[in-house]
Amino acid sequence: MSATDAFELDALLRDKVKLLGNLLGKTIENQYGSSMLKRIEDIRKQAKKARNGDDAERDRLLALLKTMPDDALVPVVRGFNQFLNLANIAEQQHGASWRRSDFLHDDVEQMFSSLLDRLQQKGIAGLDLSQKVADVNIELVLTAHPTEITRRTLIQKYDLIARLLQQRDDLRDGHPQLLEIEQQLASVVEEIWHSDEIRQVRPTAVDEAKWGFAVIENSLWYAVPQLLRNLDDELRQRGSSALPLTAAPVRFSSWMGGDRDGNPNVTSAVTREVLFLARWMAADLFLRDIEQLGMQLSMTAASAELRRAYPENQHEPYRACMHQLRHRLEQTKLWAAAKARGADTECEPLQEDDELLQPLMLCYHSLIEQGLDTVANGFLLDTLRRVACFGLALVKLDVRQESTRHADVLQEICAFYNWGDYKAWDEEKKQQFLLNELASRRPLIPTRWAPSAEAQEVLDTMSVLATRAGDGVSCYIISMASEPSDILAVALLLQASGVRDHMPVVPLFETLSDLEQSAPRMEKLWSVDWYRQYCKGHQQVMIGYSDSSKDAGQLAAVWAQYRAQEALSKTAQDKGIKLRLFHGRGGSVGRGGGPAHRAILSQPPGSVLGGLRVTEQGEMIRFKFGMPEVAVRNLKVYVSAVLEANLLPPEAAQPQWRERMEQLASAGVKSYRAMVRDTPDFVRYFRAATPEQELGKLSLGSRPARRKSGGGIETLRAIPWIFAWTQMRLMLPAWLGSDEALAQPVNNGELPQLQSMYAQWPFFRTYIDMLEMVISKADPAIAQYYEGRLVEAELQPLGSQLRIRLQKIRDLVLAIKDQQSLLQDNLALQHSMSVRNPYTDPLHYLQAELLYRERQDQDVVSKEVERALKVTMAGIAAGMRNTG
């Protein structure tokens, strides 16, 4: 038996996929009859045969698809789409199940334990080790970029299937409840099939925020205390002390309802509503905890301090404490609900985290004093840790705005006062003006002034931050920050709007040129005495991944990001600033995504000493954090990686490797831009060969797909740019430019150096491994089919050129890794894709056909064709396990 065969024989996973597939088949048969189920099964079997590369078999598959009547389109594509979703659920749940065959030898399960062993060998142990774990300072920022294609209604049903599969794992071997569980699974699969998988209405920014709250409510609320229990157990096994009671090595923030850059749907009113809804959700979740504790803490033995604090019930002081907290949390819910509606209320809510934390700590210490350690370290400890992680804000909100919007406000103010043309001033004059105004006691904002609607909206947002709602805001991020004046302008407007406590202002550097200039610009800012006092020696800087990749190509972007981190870290150290880098990583490789552990360890040594802040985007939130068991695994990966990066950092890159990367990046950006910017027909080809123009039919998110109407790819957001190429399987944004750049040293006989870099440099190894992964998902035959069906003949030579380049990068990756085939050492992904291909292939071919029909005459497209086209997009996204 081959290694691949051995891997495929995880019988339990196969059993789950088969069970869900059979239940789906029965549901389809019940609605449409056996002939429809047979049609779907015939297409699947033929797709499997066609996968072998036989043209005759593919022709038979295409014949089956092209002769399909319109009334069969929707059931067929829905069948394939839902099978892919169910297979994803089974795979995800199985990956966290203790029943899987490799559980005891799983790398992720052993990662933290193995790291602690290595740290102890280095002499880091005891209290020191526990404190270092507590201090890793990780913040995951949940964002609602429009990559989550699945409706929230269906996500909840998928989550239920995962829970039922886990129950089935736990009760195997003839348990009498197995039949009941399978009946429940059949019911949920039927519910899913008879629900519309495509949103009919585009979600609002508030809807997106509620989706984020649901992830916390259904998964992270349970995962966080479980994570800390796991970490505690590992530490105690090595003689170290437990983590501090309020340790929060991982916290969460959000962009949902705060990210207004290029999204006119996120207004000051939306941000205000989302902040109060988060308060309501936090109060509701804590209320559930307190009610459970009220039932649990019936003990009468208590400390004198606890009895003094709650004299009204000396017999059961713990319950007296819980009764009081329950009342305050109920008041908090009423208050937050009213505020979210814009109404006033006389309620007395909990405002500060300590108002919740201190009574719980008093109960905890009383229980310990009475020798009730087991009770204290049970559910009460879980609640304490939730308070430390989530607090009354639940999830802190980032506010993001584009830099020119602040300059526009100042331009209008200066015009009103006849101070001059602010935007025409040079940087030195702007800085002097801003610093003078920051020091002035005179109000900046005129009372008798009629600003433009755009300027008023900026000021209204800052006014929200000045209210109690603003306590839930973590920082103010400035997109396209280029000079110190961009940061000082925000600080001035925040001050003028009454925002106190020196809200952190975070510049975001995202284009190639901005990344290259980020350190010199921050050095100028940190040289301003006023600002050094404002930031109190702490600074957060955001590194953009998506736009830099779209701007310069993936190869040049990753090197620019690496160098920017190095330069920023050194400059901050020289200036005595404690720096925390914020990584705006996307979900897909083309936007900076990829396995977290490798990504963190491939960063420059010392770049995560101040902690790590990173975005988690779109559907990756659901895949990584949608189930408590899976969330615990992924959170442990983050903790392990940051701890290792700081305490066991890799060696710095050798000078000759850096020189080689400079050459590769230079060649890569030149090659990428030559195609994307300078090839006259490239944009026409892109729009013809991909469903980019049709993406607007999917109600994906509140943000428009384009920053501006019209224009080329420069106006297109990074997410639909990736989405479109993924749908037709060329995966171009992740590799274009890398092919010609890597070919140069290989053609010059310098392959051994690249192989050495791959073997010894984590940064380069991670980059090549990510290339391998994304290229393995590319399919030139499918891309060629889209082209033949959708692209006019005069543009087709361009597609042929791109497919030749795809083959070139494939060969180069194999040569650098010294492998015979892609994913040679990643059997899991190999098998995952082989299971999905017979279901995704028909969706690709049908999508190309449906695009052709729609573009031929948009006025007569049937509803069946329109709906089927949308479902193919959802199905392909599910099959590829990422959209954008």
Catalytic positions are 145, 550
Residue 736 is given by DSSP the state T
What does each C-alpha distance from 608 to 11, 111, 133, 580, 876 come to in angstroms? 41, 19, 14, 7, 36
CB 682 within 8 A of CB 736: no
* DSSP helix, strand, coil percent of the chain (3-state; round to 5): 70, 5, 25
Distance CA 667, CA 56 (A): 41
Amino acid, single-letter form, for residue 829 = L
Closest C-alpha to 203, from 618, 547, 546, 631: 618
Residue 88 corresponds to which tokens in the numbers above?
């994803």
Beta bridge partners of 506: 477
Q: Which amino acid would we find at residue 814?
A: L
**Residue pair 512/677 in contact by the 8 Å Cβ criterion:** no
Three-state SS for 761?
coil
Would you call 842 helix, strand, or coil by DSSP?
helix
Q: Which residues contact 299 (CB under 8 A, 6 or more apart)?
A: 316, 318, 367, 370, 372, 375
Cα→Cα distances 279→143, 385, 525, Å? 18, 17, 35
Token digits of residue 56? 């005759």
List all residues 6 or more positions away from 44 whose beta carbon is below 8 Å from its beta carbon. 80, 838, 839, 842
Q: How many helices (H) and strands (E) does the chain have?
A: 39, 8
> What is d(CA 374, CA 746) in angstroms, rounded to the nearest whole number?
63
Distance (Å) of CA 779 to CA 147, 159, 383, 783, 803: 21, 31, 49, 6, 9
Spell out the residues 6+ positions from residue 174 whose beta carbon is closer than 8 angstroms to its own: none
Return d(Cα 208, Cα 333) in angstroms, integer.
20
In angstroms, what CA-CA distances link 152 with 209, 332, 333, 808, 880?
A: 12, 27, 24, 41, 20
Estimate to the nearest angstrom the gap between the alpha carbon of 651 and the chain centroid. Answer: 29
- Report the run of H or E that residue 17 belongs to, with start and end: helix 11-32
> In which region does residue 694 sit, left (phi positive, over 0), alpha (psi from -120 to 50) or beta (all else)?
alpha
Rounded CA separation 789/727 (Å): 15
DSSP SS3 for 713: helix
3 state SS of 477? strand
Burial profile 537-566: b = 16 or more Cβ within 10 angstroms, e = fewer: eebbbbbbbbbbbbbbbbbbbbbbbbbbbb
CA–CA gap between residue 279 and residue 391 (Å, rounded): 9
- How far does CA 505 lie from the centroid of its chain? 22
Signed CA dihedral, 337, 340, 341, 342: sign only: positive
List of residues 6+ apart from 103 with CB closer than 8 A: 97, 109
| C-beta neighbour count of 63 within 10 angstroms | 11
